[in-house]
């Protein structure tokens, strides 16, 4: 296996509040803050919903969500938890509950007060029995929330948990106005109400999301006045990298999300632009439908996995800004273990597994991908590699809105996806994909060994023991060839030089409250 790229994966700077440049990249904050104006940014995926617990694209959804919502906690640049809507917290001696003191004088965008009753209502909604919200599993270890007094709340756990606090700092822990939830019902996702620096203004489907300054926001900026600095934020939906690059070069947008490595040199050569280092990388993977059809046969899944030259694929897509690892755990995450057994290119094994799977002369199948870069290029390279082993892939290109229900509905044979990692806790990526109640069980896995390991790793509180459990989990996933892990690629955003003080969260999503547009 290739370990890390020639430039080194920038995966270790996981955390919120990243307002300084990482090595080799330009400083991101210069000069005194400037107030006013509109920041225009782009994101390649339109959210399914602006209700924090209803989205199905973690990290991507956060480009919009963290402008409008906050949790009790957040992460600093080292990945440590620090206060947000809570000012402090204290564990019980048995580690089965934690008491939070809440920040006073915070109000939701609709004028309703933020208090312990609001926290209790939000937690109850996420953990409600039978909830089908994609983010509900993130709070699976929470049994209840109890108001001690108007500004103090106790969260009770089902058992000690190594992931519980981290879960309160991501989407599942974002606080929504209980009054708005009650009033709007299912329409809340189109008219979100939080406590964040910007409040929702409008959502033009397929085009843009617009937010305006929250005049009652509680945080002050470096100039001593209330944040945010800008009057408004517009997030444009632009799925194609080439279009993003045209827009940012022309000044149509100030900031664009993850571009592909082939664009890095062009950005570095343009005096109007700058590369913005992103803490996590992007893991590219393929998922087999193991519930039915041709890939219910484990031998044929193994044949595909041994027919791919991941190092060639990685170099072709990432231009050297990438890595091949056993699963999607990046080399700098504490749960990484290079000793996890994983498949590699082996033509002899391909032929043996084809024979074992009853297809000695090869077979044909369809791979479903989202219309975006570099998924198309990845599929084409994999198609060419597998063709050498008489495995013929038909590439089906879909809009994401069509891809998600097809794959979640297990109507696919093989599909390409990607995920930003590392996350605040390994459970935030393994739980939603491989947990017992996983909302993103793309493969249709029904495996008690896997489910049990996900549960044990989440519930364990000692990091060394958790690491061993995650090694066992990854080993089990690879033993069964449920996925084909392809490679990591380093991620970068691109910004115009006039956009100053770009602050990123632990997943690489921008927090624009403290950003401003410098005057020429």
What CATH number is attached to the domain comprising 298? 3.10.105.10
Residues in the chain: 520
Same domain? 436 vs 310: yes
**Domain assignment present for 106:** yes
**Domain assignment present for 476:** yes
Looking at the predicted structure, is the pLDDT value of residue 201 above 50? Answer: yes
pLDDT band at 420 (very low <50, low <70, confident <90, very high): confident
Read off the pLDDT of each residue in 498-509 and give the average, rounded to a whole number. 87
C-alpha closest to that of 369 among 454, 285, 447, 448: 285
- Rounded CA gap, 434 and 447, in Å? 9
**Domain assignment present for 382:** yes
**Domain assignment present for 262:** no
Read off the pLDDT of each residue in 249-255 and give the average, rounded to a whole number. 97
pLDDT band at 11 (very low <50, low <70, confident <90, very high): very low
| Secondary structure (3-state) at 471 | helix
pLDDT of residue 508: 79
Structure tokens that stand for 435 in this block: 């947990």
Looking at the predicted structure, is the pLDDT value of residue 127 above 80? Answer: yes
Read off the pLDDT of each residue in 457-467 and give the average, rounded to a whole number. 91
- Rounded CA gap, 323 and 149, in Å? 50
Read off the pLDDT of each residue in 157-171 and give the average, rounded to a whole number. 89
pLDDT of residue 78: 57
Same domain? 210 vs 337: no
Q: Which residue has the higher pLDDT, 27 or 293?
A: 293
Same domain? 375 vs 460: yes
- 161 within 8 A of 83, measured Cβ to Cβ: no
What percent of the chain has pLDDT above 90? 73
| Secondary structure (3-state) at 170 | coil
- DSSP alpha helices (H): ranges in 279-423? 298-305, 310-318, 347-356, 375-387, 400-408
Judged by average pLDDT, the poorest of 7-21, 92-106, 165-179 is 7-21
Same domain? 244 vs 327: no
pLDDT of residue 491: 82
Contacts of 444 (CB under 8 A, 6+ apart): 289, 290, 291, 292, 410
Structure tokens that stand for 455 in this block: 């549960």
C-alpha closest to that of 285 among 22, 81, 489: 489
**Domain assignment present for 261:** no
pTM comes to 0.75
Contacts of 69 (CB under 8 A, 6+ apart): 52, 174, 175, 176, 192, 194, 195, 196
Same domain? 184 vs 319: no
Same domain? 284 vs 230: no
Report the chain's mean pLDDT, rounded to a whole number.
90
DSSP bridge partners of 169:
none
**Domain assignment present for 303:** yes
Read off the pLDDT of each residue in 6-32 and give the average, rounded to a whole number. 39
**34: alpha, beta or left? (left if phi > 0; alpha if psi -120 to 50):** beta
Q: Which residue has the higher pLDDT, 424 or 365?
A: 365
pLDDT of residue 30: 59
Looking at the predicted structure, is the pLDDT value of residue 18 above 50? Answer: no
Task: Name the phi and psi angles at 157, rounded to 5.
Answer: -100, 155
What percent of the chain has pLDDT above 70? 93
Structure tokens that stand for 176 in this block: 């929504």
> How many domains in the chain?
2
Judged by average pLDDT, the poorest of 54-58, 94-98, 234-238, 327-331 is 54-58
List, for residues 58-116, the tens digit of each pLDDT value.
Answer: 778 999 999 999 999 987 655 678 899 999 999 999 989 999 999 999 999 999 999 99
C-alpha closest to that of 241 among 260, 222, 220, 225: 260
Read off the pLDDT of each residue in 429-448 and give the average, rounded to a whole number. 93
Dihedral of CA atoms 432, 433, 437, 442 in degrees, nearest 10, equals 130
User: In a 10 Å sphere around its CB, with 0-12 CB exposed, 13-18 middle and 19+ buried, how is residue 269 labelled?
Assistant: exposed
CA angle, 103 as apex, 179 and 197 as ends, to 5°?
65
pLDDT band at 15 (very low <50, low <70, confident <90, very high): very low
- Rounded CA gap, 442 and 91, in Å? 36
Same domain? 508 vs 475: no
- Helix and strand tally (H, E) in the chain? 14, 21
**Domain assignment present for 15:** no
- Rounded CA gap, 157 and 80, in Å? 21
- Rounded CA gap, 357 and 380, in Å? 24
**Domain assignment present for 272:** no
pLDDT of residue 262: 83
What string of DSSP letters covers 415-459? EEEEEEE--SSTHHHHHHHHSTT-TT-TT----HHHHHHHHHHHH
Same domain? 316 vs 197: no
Our measurement of the distance from residue 285's CA atom to the centroid of its chain's CA atoms, rounded to an integer in Å, reads 14
Same domain? 454 vs 503: no
The number of beta carbons lying within 10 Å of the beta carbon of residue 338 is: 11
List, for residues 351-376, the tens digit of each pLDDT value.
Answer: 999 999 999 999 999 999 999 888 99
pLDDT band at 454 (very low <50, low <70, confident <90, very high): very high
pLDDT of residue 20: 32
- Rounded CA gap, 105 and 86, in Å? 12
Residue 389 structural domain: 280-491
Same domain? 246 vs 287: no
Looking at the predicted structure, is the pLDDT value of residue 5 above 70? Answer: no
Looking at the predicted structure, is the pLDDT value of residue 340 above 60? Answer: yes
Q: Rounded to whole angstroms, what are the CA distances from 176 to 68, 299, 487, 489?
A: 9, 47, 36, 34
Looking at the predicted structure, is the pLDDT value of residue 280 above 70? Answer: yes
| Secondary structure (3-state) at 401 | helix
Same domain? 56 vs 165: yes
Whole-angstrom distance between the N-terminal and C-terminal Cα of the chain?
48
Same domain? 225 vs 303: no
The CATH number covering residue 223 comes to 3.40.190.10
- Rounded CA gap, 112 and 90, in Å? 27
Looking at the predicted structure, is the pLDDT value of residue 231 above 70? Answer: yes
Looking at the predicted structure, is the pLDDT value of residue 19 above 90? Answer: no
């Amino acid at each position: 296996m290739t370990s890390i790229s020639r430039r080194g994966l920038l995966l270790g700077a996981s955390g919120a509040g990243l307002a300084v440049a990482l090595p080799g990249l330009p400083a991101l904050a210069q000069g005194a803050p400037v107030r006013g104006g509109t920041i225009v940014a782009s994101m390649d995926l339109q959210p399914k919903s602006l209700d924090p617990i209803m989205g199905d694209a973690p990290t991507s959804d956060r480009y919009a969500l963290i402008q409008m919502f906050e949790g009790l906690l957040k992460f600093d640049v080292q990945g440590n938890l620090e206060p947000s809507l809570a000012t402090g917290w204290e564990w019980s001696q048995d580690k089965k509950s934690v008491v939070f003191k809440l920040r006073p004088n915070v109000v939701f965008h609709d004028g309703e007060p933020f208090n312990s009753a609001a926290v209790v209502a939000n937690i109850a909604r996420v953990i409600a029995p039978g909830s089908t919200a994609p983010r509900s599993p993130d709070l699976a270890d929470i049994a209840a929330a109890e108001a001690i007094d108007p500004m103090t709340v106790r969260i009770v756990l089902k058992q000690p948990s190594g992931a519980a606090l981290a879960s309160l700092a991501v989407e599942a822990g974002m606080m929504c106005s209980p009054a708005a939830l009650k009033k709007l019902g299912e329409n809340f996702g189109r008219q979100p109400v939080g406590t964040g620096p910007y409040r929702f203004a409008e959502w033009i489907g397929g085009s843009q999301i617009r937010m305006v300054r929250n005049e009652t926001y509680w945080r002050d900026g470096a100039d001593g006045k209330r944040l945010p600095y800008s009057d408004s934020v517009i997030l444009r939906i632009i799925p194609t990298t080439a279009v993003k690059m045209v827009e940012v070069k022309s000044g149509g947008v100030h900031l664009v999300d993850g571009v592909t490595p082939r664009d890095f040199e062009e950005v570095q050569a343009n005096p109007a632009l700058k590369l913005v280092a992103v803490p996590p990388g992007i893991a590219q993977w393929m998922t087999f439908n193991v519930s039915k059809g041709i890939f219910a046969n484990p031998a044929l899944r193994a044949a595909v996995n041994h027919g791919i030259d991941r190092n060639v694929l990685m170099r072709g897509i990432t231009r050297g800004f990438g890595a091949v690892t056993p699963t999607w755990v990046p080399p700098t995450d504490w749960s990484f273990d290079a000793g996890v057994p994983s498949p590699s290119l082996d033509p002899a094994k391909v032929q043996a597994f084809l024979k074992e799977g009853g297809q000695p002369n090869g077979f044909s199948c369809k791979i479903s991908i989202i219309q975006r870069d570099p998924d198309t290029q990845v599929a084409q390279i994999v198609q060419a590699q597998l063709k050498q082993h008489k495995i013929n892939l038909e590439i089906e290109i879909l809009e994401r809105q069509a891809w998600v229900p097809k794959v979640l509905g297990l109507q696919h044979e093989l599909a390409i996806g990607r995920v930003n990692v590392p996350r605040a806790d390994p459970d935030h990526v393994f739980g939603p994909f491989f947990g017992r109640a996983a909302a993103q069980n793309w493969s249709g896995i029904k495996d008690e060994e896997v489910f049990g390991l996900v549960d044990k790793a989440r519930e364990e509180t000692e990091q060394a023991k958790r690491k061993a459990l995650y090694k066992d989990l990854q080993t089990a996933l690879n033993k069964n060839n449920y996925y084909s892990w392809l490679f990591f690629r380093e991620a970068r955003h691109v910004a115009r030089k006039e956009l100053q003080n770009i602050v990123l969260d632990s997943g690489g999503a921008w927090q624009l409250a403290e950003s401003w547009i410098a005057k020429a």
